[in-house]
Amino acid sequence: MLLEKTFHSGAKPPLGSLIEGRWVQGESTFTVLDKYSATPIAEVASATRAQVAQAVAATHRAAQAGAPAPAERARVLRRAGELIAERRDHFVDVMVAEAGFTVADAAGEVDRAVITLNLSAEEAPRVVGDVVPFAASPGAHQRMGFTLRFPVGVVCAITPFNSPLNTVLHKVAAAYGAGNAVVLKPSAYTPLTSALLAQALLDAGMPPEFLAVVQGEGDSVGTWLLQEQDVAFYTFTGSTRVGRIIQQAAGLRRTQMELGSIASTLVCADANLDRAIPKIANATFRKAGQVCTSVQRLYVEAPLADEVAQRLAEYAATLPAGDPRDPATRIGPLVTREAAMRTEQWLREAQEQGAQLLCGGQRDGSVISPAILTRVPETGRVWCQEAFAPLVAIRPFDDFDAAIASANSTPYGLSAGIFSQDIDRCLSAARRLRFGTIQINETSSARSDVMPFGGVKDSGFGKEGPWHAMREMTEERLVTFNP
């Protein structure tokens, strides 16, 4: 009944777990809230311990029996992209409600999801090995060798709330494209989008035994998945704290982790601000700043510092915050009211410590207006902890080397950006910034779905991007022949 009152654009998402092609109920439910109004929109059945075991066992049997041929897997992934495009309004409707995305952010998520599916389809037939140059060893020039790649088996994907469609597909589509079976545990904040996605994959022809969705909280369902020894590979996007738990439980099994971040972007004195300012604002505030690569630290060379701060504040004033269903809204709610209250507290603390709030920071329920700060102390939480909120701290610099060192000073290393027309300075930054991605004349948050994406240090390891993820999710086997 709650769904009927909320979604009007088409088929309603299933409200249980998907096991062996059937949507099943559990013994308890959890409530999904509309992130703007904080009102219930659905009661979703949590998977039981037995259902988690059943889901893993079923996908393990399927993996052992072998996946459909690569061309068939590619066909399924392409058809899924077509279905998601056809059901665009359904997906947007659900993400606006359960993720709090603005209509524009939700539509962008759908567009990127179609790209990710098509990229995965293109790569599915290309999961091949390499020729070994034995002639490099004296006396071995007559030998021949090559590698083959095989699926690892069951891939467990544990996914976040802040990209409930595209990040899920970077794991699920890549895993299936490489010939694996998949058990998906979506965020309990955003389970409905994953349910719609799973139904689209089934409708596209994905064999039911190759996909399971187990709904529930991380402390229960997530923990049970870590106990299942038939899972061969865990792919996770989320906090560093949870990533450590998964890694410890995985033991010698393989993992791919995209974890915490404090993303930095540098603006040098020769930067083109007409180009940089809109990019920085979008990268800072889209999805209400709830992106792991959102610009949180903005280093600006001193001659431009005042101008950048003023122009960024003026730009932020053009980004209305509020109801995500209003097409004019550019900044929607945070995932919970508690997250918004935490952000409000951090901003207040920063000001008490001497920071200047140039604009924004007002809270209305779970919505925070886009906030820009200067003079933030080194110990301020908005500077030295991951904010995951629509805020940015600006710090002027005179010494380029010191700015690089400061950006490197956090435990994290996911993505960084630099704006400059000095190629030597840009290449110096690329060599010295210890991040998984360095973007020149882009912000830290400028991801294309084809590129390798992943971090270093406490931001994790391994790569997403369909080709790169498929290599992670396959085993390499060497074959040699001595005539």
Q: What is the pLDDT along the chain (483 residues), one digit of tens a residue?
A: 456 555 555 668 999 999 999 999 999 999 999 999 999 999 999 999 999 999 999 999 999 999 999 999 999 999 999 999 999 999 999 999 999 999 999 999 999 999 999 999 999 999 999 999 999 999 999 999 999 999 999 999 999 999 999 999 999 999 999 999 999 999 999 999 999 999 999 999 999 999 999 999 999 999 999 999 999 999 999 999 999 999 999 999 999 999 999 999 999 999 999 999 999 999 999 999 999 999 999 999 999 999 999 999 999 999 999 999 999 999 999 999 999 999 999 999 999 999 999 999 999 999 999 999 999 999 999 999 999 999 999 999 999 999 999 999 999 999 999 999 999 999 999 999 999 999 999 999 999 999 999 999 999 999 999 999 999 999 999 999 999
Contact 144, 483 (CB under 8 A): yes
Tell me if residue 359 is catalytic. Answer: no
Closest CA to 383 of 305, 445, 261, 296: 296
Q: Using CA atoms, how far apart are residues 414 and 437, in angstroms rounded to an integer? A: 6
Q: Out of 292, 301, 426, 442, which one is annotated catalytic? A: 292
Alpha-carbon 170 to chain mean position: 8
DSSP 222: I
Q: Which residues pair with 363 in a beta bridge?
A: 368
**Which residues make beta-bridge pairs with 301?**
397
Q: Which amino acid is at 238?
A: G
Q: What residue type is 475 in one-letter code? A: E
Rounded Cα gap, residues 154 and 66, in angstroms:
11
d(C-alpha 277, C-alpha 314), whole Å:
10
Q: How far apart are CA 6 and CA 415, in angstroms?
A: 37
Cα–Cα distance, 373 to 369 (Å, whole number):
13
CB 256 within 8 A of CB 236: yes
In order of 328, 376, 450, the CA distances from 418 in angstroms are 30, 21, 21
Q: Chain centroid to CA 98: how far?
A: 16
Q: What are residue 28's DSSP bridge partners?
A: 46
Catalytic residue among 98, 109, 258, 464: 258
Query: For the whole prediction, is pTM greater than 0.85?
Result: yes
What pLDDT does 4 receive? 58
- Mark whether 86 is an active-site residue: no
